[in-house]
A and B are shown apart, each in its own frame.
Chain A
Amino acid sequence: MSENVILDVRDLRKWFPIRKGLLRHVVGNVRAVDGVSFSIRRGETLALVGESGCGKTTAARCILRALVPTSGSVQFHMGERTVDLATLPRRALRPLRRHMQMVFQDPYASLNPRMVVGDIIGEPLLINGMTDRAERRRRVGELMELVQLPVSTLNRFPHAFSGGQRQRIGIARALALNPGLVVADEPVSALDVSVQAQILNLMLDLQDRLGLTYLFVAHDLSVVKHVSDRVAVMYVGRIVEVGETEALYAGPLHPYTEALLSAAPAPVPGMASNRIILEREIADPANPPAGCAFHPRCRHATAHCREERPELEEVAPGRFVACLRARELSLRGIAEVHAPA
């Protein structure tokens, strides 16, 4: 497995200090990411899922070093070389940036409104030394064809495009430098349903054609089911479960995964009968509960869960879960929770 791995994240932490008073003393920490480990194989899609505040975006930003992690390592393998993105000095990081690119959630906010599309897509090429205008123009044309945008729109500004087309521009820009890894943070959640499907299909096609590796950050479990090979579920800064997509949806091992799967609304009338409605709210990452962070909302919690924090354990090949009771519980998968009434 190891020669096939492009990214290996170990025990990643990102704590944001909470400061108070005149001297700005640190009085606590928001543990946004609190010990996250996973790896991504070349050419696959790993989805990082969870609800707002679970730390999925912070984790993604630490991996790309848009944020400096508090601790942990992010081993990035490029051919012969391996670097630790978590600790690399900023200067050494710059030439590596072309190998990892990002697609953003909001196609309205992530494109400069004062630049024409050709320049937006061509900017990474220019920065990375493609100074010849004609050559750049040719490559921009190629990229626009790749994401199915009419090349004739090269000189238009972003406002002339619909949300879906803007997301295509964002994808073309991310692919300009042939990155190995693309981190997509909620790439379709701001789009209308009829356009969402177009972008998801495009991402799958591009992956097949170009051998891309995706880290797909999302909250929508239906979208994730369509695009991902494997899924990692996060809750309050930690990964609670990892597995192959089909296996994880069919038979979740963590009670949080089970509740999340049952809460996803299915577009079939009369199917809400087996829903698990969680009580209370997501725990505060500045002050997470002792023991398992999910225990206050868990139907299966025991006294033990309030005391001991479960570690992520491999319970079957490629299947990890952080639950003290994982081996004794038998939880319901999508076939059971979304069964007709």
Chain B
Amino acid sequence: MRPIPMVEPLLSVRDLRTHFTTQEGTIRAVDGIDFDVFEGRTLGLVGESGCGKSVTARSVLGIVEAPGKVVGGQILLRTQAGTQLDLATMAPDSAAYRAIRGPEIALIFQEPMASFSQYYTIGNQIMESVKLHMGLGAQAARARAIELLDMVGVPQPSRRVDEYPFELSGGLRQRVMIAMALSCDPRILFADEPTTALDVTTQAQILDLLRDLQAKRGLAIVLITHDMGVIAEMAHDVSVMYLGRAVETGPVAEIFDSPHHPYTRALLRSIPTIMAKPRTRLPTIAGSIPMPSARPVGCAFSPRCTEVFGEICNTEQPPAVVDGPRNVRCFLHGGAP
């Protein structure tokens, strides 16, 4: 087990709430999330569709799509200049927030093809952000772009810099995306399903690159994925999310070794593994994930839970109970009045 560093987090998110107001009512996509991000460590946010993991990343970066809005909580960032900011109180389209995106916190997405402009070369697109944020001239920016492409392992960077996104394979596009995200030397990188659209052999390459960049630069990574295998391999800490809340948070090895929350336990059991005997049935989780608009009252997992503690599970939301290095939202582990 890795020791918990006694350093201050770069980013502390407390009770973050992001809601979408629609005609059918308010969808509480993120409904009270807490996490800390430390230098040189990877936090995994893992969960199935609708759990709010992507909206969490977008909330921190101030790029939630309308009608979504951060409606509560704190996003405390310690900047490289040493000041403390609460991003939740800042206007997402303000100049101050723009100075955060890129130089402090960067984001890479699942589908690199959709995140690039098709009309500019990759070099131009990297140069745009370094010119804007770092005030470099055209020549210095180009040199910086080539240096960045080289850093992320793009072969022949001085030739590739003049290519268009459609000329690159999926794996290379994801490398270019990482280069672009790191162009302004951020300390925190949010990676939203960075390898989901890639083949396994390419996924292995990209995960290796992220680990390498973290070791060299002390990058803090928030890795968002549905894939427990990727979490096991990459993350130091993990937050398991279900319908807008973190049901269990703590060190990866401990949570995989002895999951406390019934959802974590059931999820880990239901994953197909390469070690299985052929033609074996998997344990399943009954039912399906409720629509976010039809969120169950009480513990959101209670209608599918096989270990319901009592009537309280259907009526009250369990609070986060601290248990050593982890915290769990389940009445089985305390918090019942």
Measured in the bound complex, the distance between the Cα atoms of B205 and A259 in whole Å is 12
If the complex has contacts A195-B288, A200-B272, A226-B276, are A266 and B281 also in contact, measured as CB distance less than 8 A?
Answer: no
User: Interface readout for B250-284 with A: 1 if CB under 8 Å, 0 if not?
Assistant: 00110010000000001110111111111111111
Task: From the candidates A52, A162, A265, name the one contacting B229 in the complex (CB within 8 A).
Answer: A265
Answer whether residue B307 sits at the interface, using C-beta atoms and an 8 A cutoff: no
If the complex has contacts A192-B48, A271-B233, are A197 and B273 also in contact, measured as CB distance less than 8 A?
Answer: no
| A225 and B284 contact, CB distance less than 8 A | no
Answer whether residue A332 sits at the interface, using C-beta atoms and an 8 A cutoff: no
On chain B, the residues within 8 Å of A338 by CB distance are 274-275
On chain B, the residues within 8 Å of A42 by CB distance are none
Task: From the candidates B226, B233, B274, B280, name the one contacting A192 in the complex (CB within 8 A).
Answer: B226
Report how many residues on chain A are interfacial, defined by Cβ distance under 8 Å.
Answer: 51
Measured in the bound complex, the distance between the Cα atoms of B273 and A225 in whole Å is 8
On chain A, the residues within 8 Å of B170 by CB distance are 52
Measured in the bound complex, the distance between the Cα atoms of B228 and A58 in whole Å is 30
Answer whether residue A186 sits at the interface, using C-beta atoms and an 8 A cutoff: no
On chain A, the residues within 8 Å of B201 by CB distance are 51, 259-260, 263, 277-278, 282
User: Interface readout for A269-292 with B: 1 if CB under 8 Å, 0 if not?
Assistant: 111100101100110000000000
| B282 and A260 contact, CB distance less than 8 A | no
Measured in the bound complex, the distance between the Cα atoms of B282 and A163 in whole Å is 18
On chain A, the residues within 8 Å of B226 by CB distance are 192-193
If the complex has contacts A261-B274, A266-B232, A338-B274, are A162 and B171 also in contact, measured as CB distance less than 8 A?
Answer: no
Answer whether residue B230 sits at the interface, using C-beta atoms and an 8 A cutoff: yes
| A268 and B274 contact, CB distance less than 8 A | no
On chain A, the residues within 8 Å of B172 by CB distance are 281
Task: From the candidates A51, A164, A267, A278, name the one contacting B268 in the complex (CB within 8 A).
Answer: A267
Task: From the candidates B49, B227, B282, name the one contacting A265 in the complex (CB within 8 A).
Answer: B227
| B278 and A228 contact, CB distance less than 8 A | yes
Task: From the candidates A45, A192, A196, A272, name the one contacting B272 in the complex (CB within 8 A).
Answer: A196
Answer whether residue A204 sits at the interface, using C-beta atoms and an 8 A cutoff: yes
| Chain B residue with the shortest CB-CB distance to A279 | B205
If the complex has contacts A259-B201, A265-B227, A277-B205, are A192 and B171 also in contact, measured as CB distance less than 8 A?
Answer: no
Q: Taking the nearest CB of chain A, how far is it from the CB of B282, in angstroms?
A: 4
From A31-39, A62-70, A72-80, A216-224, the one touching the partner chain is: A216-224
| B171 and A264 contact, CB distance less than 8 A | no
Task: From the candidates A204, A259, A264, name the one contacting B279 in the complex (CB within 8 A).
Answer: A204
User: Interface readout for B156-196 with A: 1 if CB under 8 Å, 0 if not?
Assistant: 00000000000001111000000000000000000000000
Answer whether residue B322 sits at the interface, using C-beta atoms and an 8 A cutoff: no
User: Interface readout for B278-305 with A: 1 if CB under 8 Å, 0 if not?
Assistant: 1111111100110000000000000000
Task: From the candidates B266, B273, B289, name the one contacting A267 in the complex (CB within 8 A).
Answer: B273
On chain B, the residues within 8 Å of A52 by CB distance are 170, 199
Measured in the bound complex, the distance between the Cα atoms of B49 and A162 in whole Å is 11
Q: Taking the nearest CB of chain A, how far is it from the CB of B126, in angstroms?
A: 21
| A267 and B270 contact, CB distance less than 8 A | no
On chain A, the residues within 8 Å of B204 by CB distance are 262-263, 275, 277-278
| A265 and B233 contact, CB distance less than 8 A | yes
Answer whether residue A229 sits at the interface, using C-beta atoms and an 8 A cutoff: yes
Q: Which chain A residues in 40-73 approach chain B with CB under 8 Å?
A: 45, 51-52
| B273 and A222 contact, CB distance less than 8 A | yes
Q: Which chain B residues in 230-249 approach chain A with CB under 8 Å?
A: 230-233
| A194 and B274 contact, CB distance less than 8 A | no
On chain A, the residues within 8 Å of B66 by CB distance are none
On chain A, the residues within 8 Å of B129 by CB distance are none
Task: From the candidates A51, A197, A264, name the one contacting B284 in the complex (CB within 8 A).
Answer: A197
User: Interface readout for A191-235 with B: 1 if CB under 8 Å, 0 if not?
Assistant: 011111110110010000000000000011111011111000000
Measured in the bound complex, the distance between the Cα atoms of B48 and A249 in whole Å is 28
If the complex has contacts A162-B288, A192-B48, A200-B272, are A265 and B169 also in contact, measured as CB distance less than 8 A?
Answer: no
Task: From the candidates B208, B228, B275, B281, name the one contacting A193 in the complex (CB within 8 A).
Answer: B228
| B229 and A197 contact, CB distance less than 8 A | no
Measured in the bound complex, the distance between the Cα atoms of B267 and A340 in whole Å is 22
| A226 and B280 contact, CB distance less than 8 A | yes
Q: Taking the nearest CB of chain A, how far is it from the CB of B197, in angstroms?
A: 9
| Chain A residue with the shortest CB-CB distance to B168 | A281
Answer whether residue B81 sits at the interface, using C-beta atoms and an 8 A cutoff: no
| A278 and B272 contact, CB distance less than 8 A | no
Answer whether residue B95 sits at the interface, using C-beta atoms and an 8 A cutoff: no
Answer whether residue B6 sits at the interface, using C-beta atoms and an 8 A cutoff: no
| A268 and B276 contact, CB distance less than 8 A | no
Measured in the bound complex, the distance between the Cα atoms of B275 and A204 in whole Å is 18
| Chain B residue with the shortest CB-CB distance to A51 | B199
| B278 and A282 contact, CB distance less than 8 A | no
Q: Taking the nearest CB of chain B, how far is it from the CB of A281, in angstroms?
A: 5
Q: Which chain B residues in 298-327 approach chain A with CB under 8 Å?
A: none
| B48 and A194 contact, CB distance less than 8 A | yes
Q: Taking the nearest CB of chain B, how far is it from the CB of A213, in angstroms?
A: 14
Answer whether residue B110 sits at the interface, using C-beta atoms and an 8 A cutoff: no
Measured in the bound complex, the distance between the Cα atoms of B235 and A269 in whole Å is 9
| A264 and B280 contact, CB distance less than 8 A | no
| B205 and A200 contact, CB distance less than 8 A | no
List 30 A-B pairs, Cβ < 8 Å: A52-B170, A165-B288, A192-B288, A193-B271, A195-B288, A196-B270, A197-B282, A197-B284, A200-B282, A204-B279, A221-B200, A222-B274, A222-B276, A225-B272, A225-B278, A226-B272, A246-B277, A246-B278, A259-B201, A263-B200, A265-B203, A265-B227, A265-B233, A266-B229, A267-B231, A267-B232, A278-B201, A278-B205, A282-B199, A338-B275
Q: Give A contacts to B, CB under 8 Å.
A: 45, 51-52, 162-165, 192-198, 200-201, 204, 219-223, 225-229, 245-246, 249, 259-272, 275, 277-278, 281-282, 334, 338
Which 7 pairs across A and B sit closest by C-beta, in order of nearness? A265-B229, A51-B199, A197-B282, A192-B48, A162-B288, A194-B285, A222-B272
Task: Give me 20 other A-B pairs in contact (C-beta within 8 A), A249-B274, A270-B232 excluded.
Answer: A52-B170, A162-B289, A194-B48, A195-B288, A196-B270, A200-B272, A222-B273, A225-B276, A245-B278, A260-B201, A265-B227, A265-B229, A266-B232, A268-B232, A269-B252, A275-B204, A275-B208, A277-B208, A282-B199, A334-B275
